[in-house]
Amino acid sequence: MRVLGIETSCDETAVALVETNPWSTDILAQVISSQIEIHRPYGGVVPEAATREHLRNLPLLVPKVLSEVNLTLEGIDAVAATEGPGLASSLLIGHSYARALAIALSKPMFGVNHLEGHLFSPFIANRRAVEFPFVGLIVSGGHTILAHALGWDRYIKLGSTVDDAAGEAFDKVAKLLGLPYPGGPEIEKNAIRGNPEAFGLPRSFPERDNLNFSFSGLKTAVRFFYEKSAQMQQADAEWTYDLCASFQKAVVDVLVRKAVQAVAQARVDRLAVSGGVACNKMLRDELEFACYEAGIDLILAEPAFCTDNAGMIAGVAAEKLAAGVEARCGDDINPNLNLFAPEPGGEAARGLHAAVQLKNRQGGQQVAEQGDVPATHEVEVW
C-alpha cells in the first residue's frame, strides 16, 4: 500500500510517500519546506504568510516526492492530509489539494488528525509496527498531551496542559530573554552552558495522580527573575545561561515525571514521545534514563520526525488502510479537531471513555471530563 501524505497545519509544507509492508511502514520519499526564516522577524507564525507559502510550495513538492522514487500519481493507493487541529487557512490548502487529488484519481482519502500523526511518528520513524496499547506524550508548540492509545481511533486523555504548551513556554521565555524564534533550540543552546540548579523555579501539579501540566506559573517566575535582575543580566553573561538551564530543567522534570506516572497509571509498558520539544537533548536523555529505570520501552523518534512532517500523516493513513480501517475524510478542515472526541459512529470509543471514567470514580479517583480545566493551578517550588 502506498500513501501520499500532505501536512500543512502550521508553518511547514510537508509531503511524503510511504509504503506499508508486513512488519512496518517505510518512508519512500519526503520533503519539508520550512518557513522559519519567513516568520522569524515577527517572533511567531503569521497565518497569512504561511498560507501563501503552502499555496506556492505544494504544487512543487508533490511532483518532487513522486519523481524521487520514479512514480506517477497512478502508482499511489490513497491520499492523506491533516484535517486538524491547526491554523485554519494553512489546513485548508493541504486538505483541499489532497481532496482534489483523491477525487481526480478516484482513490480513498484520509483526513488525519495531526495529533494522531504525532502519536504514531515514533513508530514510523523507528520502522516499528504500531503496537497497542501504549502511552503517547506529545510535546509541541501547540500541545502538551498524555494519551492512552488502546487501538485505532481509541484514545483516552490522561492529561494535558491547562494553559501554555511546553513548546509555547520555550518560545515565550526565549522572546522575553531576547532570543530568536523558535525559542526551544535557542534556550537549549544557552542552557548547555548554564547551571540548572541556579534558580529555584516552580513545578506544577506535584500530586502523583494529576497528569495535567501548567507552564504559566513557570513562565511568570522566569519573568520575575528577569525583571528583578536587569542589571545583573548586563554585568554577567552567565546569568542568561543559568536562567535558560534552570527553565529547561523545570520543564523536563515535569514532563519526565508525568510521562512515567502515566505509563504506570495506564498499566502499559510502552511510551512513545513526539512533538518539537522532543528534539531537546536533555529531555531525551532524562526520558531514556527514567524509562530504563522503570523498565519502560521508550520509543523516541529522531528529531526530524519529532517536528511536523508528512511521513506521520501518510503513515497513519497507510497503517489504517492496512488494518482495514475505513477511509474517513471530513468535507472540511477542523482547526479544533479533538483526538478524544467520539468519531461519527465511534460508539466504542465513547463507551470506553465512559467506562474508564466510571471505573476510576469507583476507585475513588476523580478523572477530569474532556476539556475540564482545574479551578486552581497548584504550584510548588522544589
Residues in contact with Zn ion by CB under 5 A are 140, 308
Which of 79/310 has CB closer to Zn ion?
310
Residues 298-317 interacting with ligand KG4 (rule: CB under 6 A): 307-308
Q: Is 184 in the site for ligand KG4 (CB under 6 A)?
A: yes
Closest alpha carbon to 188 in 304, 264, 280, 115: 280
Name the minimum Å distance from CB 108 to ligand KG4: 26
Please tell me what DSSP assigns to residue 128. -
What are phi and psi for residue 99, nearest 5 degrees?
-65, -40
Residue type present at position 308: D
Owner of C-alpha cell 522559519: 36
Alpha helices by DSSP H, listed for the chain, are 36-39, 47-68, 88-105, 114-125, 166-176, 183-191, 216-228, 230-235, 238-266, 281-294, 303-306, 311-322, 347-362
Q: Stretches 60-68, 181-189, 230-238, 255-263: which one binds ligand KG4 (CB under 6 A)?
A: 181-189
b/e 154-167 (16+ beta carbons within 10 angstroms → b): bbbbbbbbbbbbbb
- Binding residues among 39-98 for ligand KG4 as defined by CB under 6 A: none
Q: Whole-angstrom Cα distance, residue 330 to residue 6?
A: 15
The residue whose grid cell reads 507559502 is 53
Closer Cβ to ligand KG4, 87 or 352, answer by number: 87
Task: Choose, by CB under 6 A, the member of 90, 140, 160, 214 that binds ligand KG4.
Answer: 140
Residue 182 touches ligand KG4, criterion: CB under 6 A: yes
Q: Which of 290, 194, 278 is nearest to 243 (CA)?
A: 194
Query: Which of the listed partners (Zn ion, ligand KG4, none) does 183 bind, with a CB threshold of 5 to 8 Å by partner kind?
Result: ligand KG4
Residue 167 or 217: the one with the smaller Cβ distance to ligand KG4 is: 167
Distance CA 358, CA 46 (A): 43
C-alpha cell of residue 29: 520519499
Nearest residue (CB) to ligand KG4, 13 versus 20: 13
**Sign, Cα dihedral of 340, 274, 219, 291:** positive
Reduce the DSSP state of residue 151 to 3 states and report it.
Answer: strand
Site string for ligand KG4, 264-293 (x = CB under 6 A): -----------xxx-xx-------------
Of 84, 94, 167, 202, the residue at the interface with ligand KG4 (CB under 6 A) is 167
133 belongs to the binding site for ligand KG4 (CB under 6 A): no
Identified binder of ligand KG4 from the candidate list 53, 83, 164, 188, rule CB under 6 A: 188
Binds 167: which of ligand KG4, Zn ion, none (CB < 5-8 Å by kind): ligand KG4
How far apart are CB 140 and ligand KG4 at their closest, in Å?
3
Is 32 among the residues that bind ligand KG4 (CB under 6 A)? no
Q: Which stretch binds ligand KG4 (CB under 6 A): 87-95, 145-153, 176-184, 193-201?
A: 176-184
Interface with ligand KG4 by CB under 6 A: which residues?
A: 10, 140-142, 167, 170-171, 182-185, 188, 275-277, 279-280, 307-308
